[in-house]
A and B are shown apart, each in its own frame.
Chain A
Amino acid sequence: MNGLRFYRDAGMTLPMDRLDVVQSDDGGAPPADQVVYLGSLNFGKIYYADSNPNVDAITVSVAAGGAGIPASAVRLALSAAGLAGATPGAPLGAGVAITAGVAHAVAVHVRIDADAVAAGVHENLSLTTNATREVTL
């Protein structure tokens, strides 16, 4: 089973399947910045983009399905400083390979800054990687 997944902490002690943020309906709330970590605890494994292993990058993309918050409300970067210059809604390259283990988790900085939108819970967004291949080292 492919063990690459998102974690809430760099030590990968908290597996994460959903990121919750709060925004205000008038669009005036400050951007919600979070850091999630993409990695694996399947020690002895390495992950490549399945499309062309060790050549194509593993990417994290913003997927928006249906009405709600547009993908452009989300910025991704590999550092907090990179968020400001990140293109809204653009995918993030996480390198051509990710080795399993705590030391190799990739920090993905996420900024969500929604414009004015109806109050409620919007669950139309997600972050997703391209297909990755798990290979034994």
Chain B
Amino acid sequence: MTFPVGALPFGDIETAASAAAAVGVATLALRVSVVPAAVLDGSSSVADGGAAAAVWGVLVEVDGAAVTDDIVGAVVVEAEESAARVADFSLHVDPGTVVSPAAWSGRSVRIWMADMRSGSPTSALPIFSGIVDLPTVRPGTGTIALRCTDNRQAVIDGLGRDAVAGLLPGSRFSAAVFDAGASALAHANDRLSTLPAALDLSPAGALRLTPWAAKETPDLVFDADLVLDESVGVDLAERGGLTNLVSIDFGYRFPRIKAEGYEISFDPLAAAMTSFVYWVRDGNLFLQRAAVLAAIEKAGGNVVAIEWIELPDTPQVIPGTGGAPAGAWLPNPPVDALYCLGFQAVVSFDYAQTTDEEHVISVSNAASIAAVGLVRQTMRGALEGVYDDAVAVEQNVLLYRKQVTTIPPKNLAPVVVGLTNSVNGTLTADTDRTAANAAMETLVAIAATRIFASHRQHTVTASVPANPVIDVDKTVMIDAEGVLAKGKVRRVVHRLDADSGAAVSEIELAICSVAGVGISHPEDAIVAPAGTSAGTTNTLAAPTVVWNGLGGEDGVITITFPGVEAAERAKASAVIESAFAAPLVEDVFEVTL
């Protein structure tokens, strides 16, 4: 079909290609199967006729075409939580028919179970929707076997990471724990490891998330009248498969920019309890300002502020012995400005310190530990803050303090006199404190999920007349053959064999049981433990000033600052312990022997 190009309202598609454009309409048929309410809620099954014989049927479509009449043997549909649903069946092919087996892969497949009492299908409920995954042929048999999948992996993979995150509310993610570049499917699996829930596709092909915890009121109840004889089984998990304590070691390393603030007050005249004129009379020296600054810098300090005690700016009478004037001191402003009688300075020592936080986190279920003893797992994780080179950081601070540059360093700890003050380095978003907290919270969520998962490994199995409503999103109660159990369906297999007439659903319930229903399992909100804080810390010792300024001395001034306090050095590493209670939701589970 072609189009009048000149009529196009915009130029960018006015190309030769547009002349070959195709017009079409996309259509999607809607088929609504309306069934009695009792069939839809599962309380009635087409495979259980009660007092009358059940007349059921299975309907199979391949590539939109009904192939029910070609089915040979059983149709088996198996669904397991957080796994792809699979279906297996075989089709009869007339002898001599030439088929291309490879062309069957990818064909759409739909399977329903229906009531056939009226001779035509009614009350049809879907039990499978997917595609052919693996066709198998054996030449000469006249059949082609089809292994079909609901394509769960590809469906999730096609969603994209953002959609996956939206699909799993309450899940957690940390790039320090998981691969930030993982595919959508791997991303889903990563997030699912932090969430006690299963992600799978419904029989109709819709993605759904089902919590592991069984519903308070079961969707379906099967008693002795409904359960097939001697089909109930109990399989308890080994103690070794349990986990009730997960110890997490998480290391977080990051830089802190620190500043020690010293105040130096040096007034030699006051110390000698004398005055200017007597200081001069006794032949003592004046302090060179340059020598003071050099002494501070030589000691490694940076002058933040300094005030000089200046020489007098008026003539002074120098007293002699007996009170008679011995002479006079006359000011010489250009030269006097190079000297002082003392000073008061604020000096900083700036450095970068790498801080290692070692978080020791325990995630446990106390009731389980009390019941079966401690069964421990360990997990490890680490994150290092990405920051500039520490030497370069210190150099930048130094240059800025000395006013060599006016460009402020990325981080600068304000000087607090008498204390060590610190600020955290500004890290990249994926290595900062928020990222570290997210990593720890993710690890705690994984640990709690592992503990829950290990405690729902008990299994109760039973077979009932095929019921398409039974699925891995349902909570089922079994009350038969001495077993009373309620749990979420972990796996269901529908076996529909038209040859034998048998239509059975095999149910596997995941049972969480350790201390008994009604036992309280406290739960802690997952909030990362607080880390170390920046700010003021240790009180600093006072610096010392030695000046050889008396008459006849060499005038050398030496300023000595105390070293970094041991307590301050110790802040380079910190062990932080925290504990979280991991909850369980226990299921009804009693066995009468």
B408 within 8 A of A: no
* Residues of the A chain whose Cβ atoms lie less than 8 Å from the Cβ of B33: 20-23, 120-122
Do A29 and B40 touch (CB < 8 A)?
yes
Do B22 and A24 touch (CB < 8 A)?
no
Q: Which of B37, B126, B130, B154 contacts A26 (CB 8 A)?
A: B37
* Residues of the A chain whose Cβ atoms lie less than 8 Å from the Cβ of B9: 52-55
Do B34 and A127 touch (CB < 8 A)?
no
Shortest Cβ distance from B115 into A: residue:
A119
Docked pose: A103 CA to B159 CA in angstroms:
9
- 25 A-B pairs whose Cβ atoms sit less than 8 Å apart in the complex: A5-B26, A8-B129, A9-B151, A20-B31, A20-B110, A21-B31, A23-B33, A36-B28, A53-B9, A53-B13, A69-B32, A112-B30, A114-B34, A119-B34, A119-B36, A120-B33, A121-B33, A122-B32, A122-B34, A123-B32, A125-B30, A127-B28, A131-B24, A132-B25, A135-B18
B15 within 8 A of A: yes
B453 within 8 A of A: no
Do B28 and A11 touch (CB < 8 A)?
no
A128 within 8 A of B: yes
B-contact 0/1 string along A108-120, CB 8 Å cutoff: 0010101001111
A102 within 8 A of B: yes
A87 within 8 A of B: no
Do A33 and B155 touch (CB < 8 A)?
no
Do A21 and B36 touch (CB < 8 A)?
no
Do A24 and B37 touch (CB < 8 A)?
yes
Least Cβ–Cβ distance between A29 and chain B, in angstroms: 6
Do B157 and A11 touch (CB < 8 A)?
yes
Q: Which of B17, B130, B151 contacts A136 (CB 8 A)?
A: B17
Interface centre among B22, B121, B205 (most CB of A within 10 A): B22
Assuming the contacts A14-B108, A25-B37, A121-B32, asked whether A130 and B158 have C-beta atoms less than 8 A apart, the reply is no
Q: Restricting to A36-91, which residues have a CB under 8 Å from any CB of B?
A: 36, 38, 46, 48, 50, 52-55, 68-69, 73-74
A93 within 8 A of B: no
Q: Restricting to B324-370, which residues have a CB under 8 Å from any CB of A?
A: none
Q: Which residues of B contact A (CB under 8 A)?
A: 3, 8-10, 13, 15, 17-18, 20-37, 39-41, 64, 108, 110, 121-126, 129-131, 151, 154-155, 157-160, 163, 204-207
Do B29 and A9 touch (CB < 8 A)?
no
Docked pose: A112 CA to B34 CA in angstroms:
12
* Residues of the A chain whose Cβ atoms lie less than 8 Å from the Cβ of B40: 22-24, 29
B-contact 0/1 string along A1-16, CB 8 Å cutoff: 1101110111111111
- List 4 tightest A-B contacts by C-beta distance, closest first: A11-B158, A2-B24, A136-B17, A125-B30
Do A21 and B37 touch (CB < 8 A)?
no
Least Cβ–Cβ distance between A122 and chain B, in angstroms: 4
* Residues of the A chain whose Cβ atoms lie less than 8 Å from the Cβ of B8: 53
Least Cβ–Cβ distance between A119 and chain B, in angstroms: 5
Do A14 and B131 touch (CB < 8 A)?
yes
Least Cβ–Cβ distance between A24 and chain B, in angstroms: 4
Shortest Cβ distance from A79 into B: residue:
B166
Docked pose: A26 CA to B37 CA in angstroms:
6
Least Cβ–Cβ distance between B585 and chain A, in angstroms: 24
Shortest Cβ distance from A118 into B: residue:
B34
Give me 18 other A-B pairs in contact (C-beta within 8 A), A14-B205, A22-B33, A129-B26 excluded: A2-B23, A9-B151, A10-B160, A16-B108, A17-B27, A17-B64, A18-B31, A19-B28, A22-B40, A23-B34, A34-B206, A53-B13, A112-B32, A119-B36, A119-B122, A121-B121, A128-B26, A130-B25
* Residues of the B chain whose Cβ atoms lie less than 8 Å from the Cβ of A6: 26-28
Docked pose: A46 CA to B129 CA in angstroms:
30
Shortest Cβ distance from A2 into B: residue:
B24
Do B28 and A13 touch (CB < 8 A)?
no
Assuming the contacts A10-B163, A13-B158, A17-B64, asked whether A136 and B27 have C-beta atoms less than 8 A apart, the reply is no
A28 within 8 A of B: yes
Do A9 and B122 touch (CB < 8 A)?
no
* Residues of the B chain whose Cβ atoms lie less than 8 Å from the Cβ of A73: 32
* Residues of the B chain whose Cβ atoms lie less than 8 Å from the Cβ of A26: 36-37
Shortest Cβ distance from B12 into A: residue:
A54
Q: Which of A11, A25, A28 contacts B159 (CB 8 A)?
A: A11
Shortest Cβ distance from A126 into B: residue:
B29
Interface centre among B10, B26, B129, B154 (most CB of A within 10 A): B26
Do B155 and A126 touch (CB < 8 A)?
no
Docked pose: A9 CA to B27 CA in angstroms:
16
Docked pose: A73 CA to B31 CA in angstroms:
13
Do B23 and A9 touch (CB < 8 A)?
no
Least Cβ–Cβ distance between B218 and chain A, in angstroms: 17
Do B27 and A127 touch (CB < 8 A)?
yes
Docked pose: A5 CA to B28 CA in angstroms:
8
Do A1 and B10 touch (CB < 8 A)?
no
* Residues of the B chain whose Cβ atoms lie less than 8 Å from the Cβ of A53: 8-10, 13
Q: Which of B25, B151, B163, B204 contacts A131 (CB 8 A)?
A: B25
Docked pose: A135 CA to B21 CA in angstroms:
5
Docked pose: A133 CA to B126 CA in angstroms:
35
Least Cβ–Cβ distance between B458 and chain A, in angstroms: 31
Shortest Cβ distance from A123 into B: residue:
B31
Do A126 and B28 touch (CB < 8 A)?
yes
Assuming the contacts A17-B29, A23-B32, A23-B34, asked whether A131 and B158 have C-beta atoms less than 8 A apart, the reply is no
Do B29 and A123 touch (CB < 8 A)?
yes
